[in-house]
Amino acid sequence: MLLLPQALVDGLLIGGIYITIAIGFSLAYGVMHIIDFAVGEWIMLGAFLGLYLSQWTQVEPLLLLPVVFVVFAVLGYLFQPVIHRVLSGKKGNPLLMALVFTFGLAIAFKGLGLTVFGFFSRSIPSAMAADSFTFVRGDFFVTIPVIRLIGLAYAIAVTLALSWILKRTDFGLAVQALAQNKEAAGLMGISAKRTNSWVYGIYVGISAMSGVLIGCMFSISAQMGGKYTVFSFFVVVLAGMGFLAGVPWAAFLLGMVQSFFLIYFDPGYTLLAVFIILYAVLLISPKGLFGKGV
């Protein structure tokens, strides 16, 4: 009972990380209907760019987040036409081809990472990593590492920014229009190619930024991608494929499950619990927690 506040707070903080790795993925799926298996690798590449940039410039890595975003948004924007080609192929099953293509991409990025960054784990040294707040009231106490709090704040900020863009800007309306009805969007003069490029750029940029943040909390390595791809996928499926507004709730749910398991049960079974929850939800509601997925 004494650990309950800590479990709740940890759940929120872990949920924040889940949001950061899943929100871009959900956006990309919702608009382009692409399941990008390389999401974890974008996170990994972003993390390493953050690491090297901060070593080179001696600047606090968290301040480099915008730089990492811009670099990877441009990369994603330039790279999207390749995916567009695969997705709009005439032969075979383009969706399946895209799946295989991004899977191959993930392997290629991982190989690239292993060659360039080496095999060993690193961490990104952030000045914020050591500090933490501790609240004590009577017998209850909660410890919050500052860096985790920043992570949560970042997750919320990105979520709010994305939903603002989608609801309040012409570009956002165009993205939504494209997601809902591709042909009608074309009739409105919305170029699917260009809009998708922007969306992919934003998604890759957000994922890469999240990598830097993750690197400040945990260790990073060239092989870290797979794990994050799986978790990102979890959150997005639980939220409902492509249902952006469901992502934070799904992320917090998974975060809570994980933190409660870590504190009250055997930490070794955490992943199992996460799997079972996902399985149970999908069994009851195949379109995600809110029934609003695709």
Partner 1 sequence: MTVLKLVSVSAGYGETQVLWNIDLEVEKGCIVALLGANGAGKTTTLKTVCGLLPATQGRLYYNGVDITGRPVHETVNLGITLVPEGRQLFGKMTVEENLIIGSFLKRAKEHRARNLAWVYELFPPLGIRRNQIAETLSGGEQQMVAIGRGLMQNPDLIMFDEPSLGLAPLLVQEMFRVIGELHRRGLTVFLVEQNVHHSLKIADYGYVIENGRIVHQGEGKQLAADPTIRQAYLGI
In the complex, which residues of this chain contact partner 1 (CB under 8 A)? 170, 173-174, 176-177, 180-181, 183-192
84 in Cβ contact with 196 (< 8 Å): yes
Residue 151 has which token pair?
A: 């992570």
Residue 54 has which token pair?
A: 């901060």
Nearer residue to partner 1 within complex by CB, 69 or 243 = 243
CB of 294 to partner 1, least distance (A): 12
CB of 167 to partner 1, least distance (A): 9
CB of 182 to partner 1, least distance (A): 10
d(CA 213, CA 15): 14
Nearer residue to partner 1 within complex by CB, 121 or 191 = 191
Nearer residue to partner 1 within complex by CB, 145 or 172 = 172
CB of 250 to partner 1, least distance (A): 20
d(CA 53, CA 89): 38
Nearer residue to partner 1 within complex by CB, 192 or 273 = 192
CB of 183 to partner 1, least distance (A): 7
d(CA 246, CA 289): 8
Nearer residue to partner 1 within complex by CB, 164 or 269 = 164
DSSP H or E run through 136: strand 132-137
DSSP H or E run through 145: strand 140-145
CB of 187 to partner 1, least distance (A): 6
CB of 200 to partner 1, least distance (A): 18
Nearer residue to partner 1 within complex by CB, 139 or 183 = 183
DSSP, residue by residue, 220-242: B-TTTHHHHHHHHHHHHHHH-TT
21 in Cβ contact with 218 (< 8 Å): no
d(CA 91, CA 39): 26
Nearer residue to partner 1 within complex by CB, 188 or 280 = 188
Q: How far is CA 43 from CA 93, 130, 145, 178, 239, in A?
A: 28, 23, 22, 26, 20
Measured from the Cβ of residue 216, the count of other Cβ atoms closer than 10 Å reads 26
Q: ∠ at Cα 114 (111, 119), nearest 5°?
A: 145
d(CA 2, CA 86): 54
Residues constituting the chain: 294
Nearer residue to partner 1 within complex by CB, 30 or 61 = 30
CB of 173 to partner 1, least distance (A): 5
d(CA 245, CA 253): 14
